[in-house]
């Protein structure tokens, strides 16, 4: 069989598969358990509707959507689910949900439209907590005013966003909040009455935007079927193009489902590669047994295992074709790069539809487990040693002779601790290499919420200062034992903002992790918090990782001197 014939088979299979899924979903019943009210009420949720009499039906829809969210974790329906529900519900009572704004609450357009409950908790945690608190008691007009004012302020959630993007973020918060109290019917109705019957102006140009919305609604009513079919055809074309491109660029002329491993293997020194097979990997992990699962990285789940030679290893299992780039990037980044503070990549192998990366095992887990667990405690000296180890690893990456390597995802879960409690940076799936002589490369914004450099978010330029910012946040967590947003406060506050405020007020000791029990050098703590704050400052004012290493080593020297004078310091043992 020729190569072109082998490419045609999976493409035809995908086409048949998607056609089957489309046909199935179009005939499925609505996933929402809802009966729309036929009452005609005139509130329009601040112009969210283009016609009158939508209030009751829209709020019934919101309640059903919130119940669905409570059961599934998904916030909004996808396009096919939405179309199925609209067709089913409009046929039952004649209500035109399209004109009631429901089509704007559809997943697939990016940003908040694709959020799950977990995403809202992680990325909009502060806004969700504030909205929930201000809308908790709704027994009078004054109570409603607090809830309504908070609803207005959420308009500033996404800077430089369109009205449509802001609306879907606000409703993602609302659905998430209501889903957690869906059984409290009286409270839910009070929230809807409060927010739905008031005029809220969160954009100066709102009237023009609403007029544009009305025009879009009319146009969408006549073209929704065309969009559905055309969109699916477009998806198929994109899939076909990506399939062909990927196989030509990565797989060369190998049979489908294979990667040219000879090209990828070439960077490994002969003494490093153990030439593992997929069978060896499954034997080492007892067929990927659940009890051997130890975590999850950017591209796949990680299992502990024991090779035939008795070596303990950590094995990342990658099964998504879309993560093949991560597979290749980690091999390319780590195959030549060796440093005591970088997790060591031992080998890799590939099977049908799956890939494996084999690393040294770090027995003490990741830093996050030690910082945020109630039954694990890190001493002050241990925290400084961990900070030095990580800083040295980043310094090495940023000054690598073959080009500056930017990690792009520095956070506690990507800092592993080996049997000697030495810290090692892990998970290079998002890393970028900047050629010598260049100051940056442009790339889509990637990373973890709370650790991503705000300047990188604005200009999409990857450079070492982004890692410095992320490491500054990690330093603050080492000092405080807090997560990136402190939800224990009456008004949740980002960790960086809290550190700057306490530093400015001279109340640094309030920032210290209670688990330290005051057992640390105040002078060293002051050095560390000032260093961390400088790391998260303006890009041009941030230190290099070489300077960061020197700063943490200085704090360690101070701590050792103070400990010799004050024997109250605890032992460094785990």
- So which residues are the catalytic ones? 409
CA–CA dist 176, 572 (Å, integer)? 44
Distance CA 517, CA 265 (A): 50
CA distance linking residue 24 with residue 200, whole number of Å:
41
Distance CA 427, CA 486 (A): 26
- What gap in Å lies between CA 508 and CA 61, rounded to an integer? 49
Query: Any idea which residue has 């599934």 for tokens?
Result: 72
Query: Rounded CA gap, 165 and 179, in Å?
Result: 21
Distance of alpha carbon 170 from alpha carbon 156, whole angstroms: 10
Instruction: Burial-class residue 362 by CB neighbours within 10 Å (0-12, 13-18, 19+).
Output: buried
As a whole number of angstroms, the distance between CA 76 and CA 83 comes to 12
Six-digit token pair at 257?
């489902």
Q: Minimal CA–CA distance to 317: which of 344, 346, 335, 295?
A: 295
Between helices 163-179 and 55-72, what is the axis angle to 10°? 60
Q: At what angle do helices 206-249 and 163-179 cross, to 10 degrees?
A: 90
SS3 state at 260: coil
* Beta bridge mates, 416: 366, 424
Alpha helices in 206-265 (DSSP H): 206-249, 261-265
Please count the residues of the chain. 574
């Amino acid at each position: 069989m020729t190569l072109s014939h082998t490419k045609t088979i999976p493409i035809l299979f995908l086409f048949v598969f998607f056609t089957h899924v489309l046909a199935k979903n179009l005939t499925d019943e609505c996933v929402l358990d809802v009966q729309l009210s036929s009452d005609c009420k005139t509130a329009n949720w601040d112009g969210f509707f283009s016609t009158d009499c939508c209030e009751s039906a829209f709020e019934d829809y919101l309640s059903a959507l919130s119940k669905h969210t409570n059961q599934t974790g998904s916030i909004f329906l996808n396009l096919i689910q939405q179309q199925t529900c609209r067709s089913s519900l409009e046929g039952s009572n004649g209500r035109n949900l399209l004109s009631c704004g429901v089509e704007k609450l559809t997943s697939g357009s990016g940003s908040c439209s694709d959020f799950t409950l977990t995403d809202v908790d992680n990325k909009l945690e502060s806004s969700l907590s504030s909205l929930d608190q201000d809308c908790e008691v709704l027994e009078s007009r004054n109570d409603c005013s607090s809830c309504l004012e908070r609803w207005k302020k959420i308009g500033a959630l996404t800077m430089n966003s369109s009205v449509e993007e802001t609306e879907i973020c606000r409703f993602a918060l609302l659905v998430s909040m209501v889903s957690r109290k869906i059984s409290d019917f009286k409270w839910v109705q009070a929230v809807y009455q409060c927010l739905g019957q008031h005029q809220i102006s969160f954009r100066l140009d709102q009237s023009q935007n609403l007029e544009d919305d009305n025009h879009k609604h009319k146009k969408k009513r006549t073209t929704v079927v065309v969009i559905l079919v055309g969109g699916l055809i477009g998806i198929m074309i994109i899939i076909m193009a990506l399939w062909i491109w990927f196989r030509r660029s990565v797989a060369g002329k190998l049979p489908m489902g294979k990667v040219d491993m000879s090209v990828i293997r070439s960077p490994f020194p002969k003494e490093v590669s153990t030439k593992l097979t997929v069978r060896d990997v499954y034997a080492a992990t007892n067929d990927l047994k659940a009890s051997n699962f130890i975590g999850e990285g950017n591209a796949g789940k990680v299992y502990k295992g024991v090779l035939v030679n008795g070596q303990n290893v950590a094995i990342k299992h990658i099964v998504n074709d879309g993560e093949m780039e991560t597979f290749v990037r980690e091999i390319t980044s780590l195959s030549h790069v060796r440093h005591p503070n970088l997790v060591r990549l031992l080998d890799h192998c590939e099977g049908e539809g799956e890939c494996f990366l084999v690393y040294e095992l770090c027995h003490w887990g990741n830093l996050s487990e030690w910082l945020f667990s109630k039954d694990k405690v890190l001493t002050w000296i241990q925290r400084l040693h961990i900070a030095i180890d990580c800083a040295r690893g980043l310094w090495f990456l940023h000054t690598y002779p073959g080009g500056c390597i930017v990690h792009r995802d520095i956070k506690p879960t990507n800092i592993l601790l080996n049997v000697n409690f030495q810290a090692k940076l892990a998970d290079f799936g998002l890393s970028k290499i900047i050629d010598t002589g260049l100051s940056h490369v442009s790339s889509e914004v990637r990373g973890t919420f709370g650790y991503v450099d705000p300047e990188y978010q604005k200009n999409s330029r990857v450079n070492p200062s982004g890692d410095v910012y992320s490491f500054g946040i990690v330093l603050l967590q080492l000092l405080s034992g807090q997560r990136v947003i402190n939800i224990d406060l009456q008004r949740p506050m980002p960790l960086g903002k809290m550190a700057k405020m306490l530093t400015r007020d001279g109340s640094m000791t309030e920032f210290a992790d209670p688990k330290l029990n005051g057992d640390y050098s105040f002078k060293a703590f002051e050095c560390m918090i000032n260093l961390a704050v400088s790391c998260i400052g303006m890009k041009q004012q941030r230190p290099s990782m070489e300077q960061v290493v020197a700063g943490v080593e200085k704090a360690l020297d101070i701590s050792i001197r103070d400990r010799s004078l004050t024997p109250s310091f605890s032992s460094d043992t785990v």
